[in-house]
Structure 1
Amino acid sequence: MSAVEAQAGGAMLPPALDAPFTMEQARVKAAEQLRWIVQTGVDAVLVTCTAYAALLADEQARCPVPVVLLDELLFNSLVRISGPQLLLFTNPGTVEGTLRRLRDYAAARHVSLDQLEVRVIDGVFELILQGRKAQYVAEVAAAVRRLLEAEPGKAVSVAQLSMVDSARLVEDELGVRIGGPLAGLREWLEEFVGEDVHDGERIAEWKG
């Protein structure tokens, strides 16, 4: 199987969303980038950014290869939780867009989100922007532990890829399950390639 690692803003991608655009212009540019990636011969494209996912939602049916929207894999796990749940963020700027897509996803499946609460872990996202990843992971993990202790009856999921390492630390330490954007990815990949895979190898990853 062929593969290419394509990161938005990297040398492999032509300039696209580096200037202000209207929403329609942004959709056109995102679609152009998607077509460019597909032409490199990849077998599938994984979109990890919610903003790009929103722009490309209509392109899935038209694309000749699978376009996997990582946030939809998260949404699929969230709508299957029947009891109270917490969805955690560290970046306030991603909350509105993610929730808008989550509500649309749930409504299309006639699922209520009445028992879902959103929490933002304040004051830590700046750490990842400053390159202080180890401190970021530790502080997010500490915040998740505190929430689990304070609200033990609620399922907990992290909404951002940057939070996954923290979630794994807490899972290993406390023996609990924490949902997240990678929850359904391995299952999808194994079905797609027909064999065991590790961390999404051999699939193109487009990081917005």
Structure 2
Amino acid sequence: MKDVLLTEPWLAWAIEIQSIAQNGLAYGKNVYDIERYERLRELAAEMLSYKTALPVEKVQNLFCNEQGYQTPKIDSRAAIFKDDKILLVQENSGLWSLPGGWIDVTETIRSNTIKEVREEAGLAVNPQFIIAIHEQHKRNYPAFAHRVLKTFVMCELLGGEFRPNIETLQSAYFGIDEIPEMDGEKNTAEQVKLCFEAHRSAQWTTQFD
């Protein structure tokens, strides 16, 4: 998949304008500079609103609400294998994904992976190693207005069973030739196949963008 920032340069421009404005608001002291940075944030939101048909107010809430120096967001996804099949969870949309989600500010990659698997699949796992760190704009769709680093974590299954919850409908194990329709925002079939490669490798080297 092509990097969406290369195929959609307007998104890269909007992200850069937003980043400059947010960093300026974090460190700027001059009242006139702050006014200019606030206007830059408004322009970035207007660019996204124009191209996505989302109301400017919604774009501002999603895209322009953070404070402090802007850095990428991080999520973690667990690769859990049983009998050479990988565990996937079905989202409320009906699409499938590896269990996982945003890393909360109180969590680490390890602890967040354990938490998300427990919440979404009802399982206890022991994270073993990081398979890959992917940049969302290069690998997933649709593109977010902010940078996202997606971490894929190989996990040892310790036990448990699926329990009904508000995030997922069910869980199931799939072979490499049985991968269902994936939620591309969260994981693609190619990323799941990469997990199979790591699972079958005698000595895996972490991949990263």
Q: One fold, TM greater than 0.5? A: no
As a proportion of its length, which structure holds more helix? 1
- For this structure pair, what is the TM-score category when the shorter chain's length is used for normalisation? under 0.3
As a proportion of its length, which structure holds more strand? 2
Structure of greater relative contact order (alpha carbons < 8 Å, 6+ residues apart): 1
The TM-score normalised by the length of structure 1 is 0.27
The TM-score normalised by the length of structure 2 is 0.27
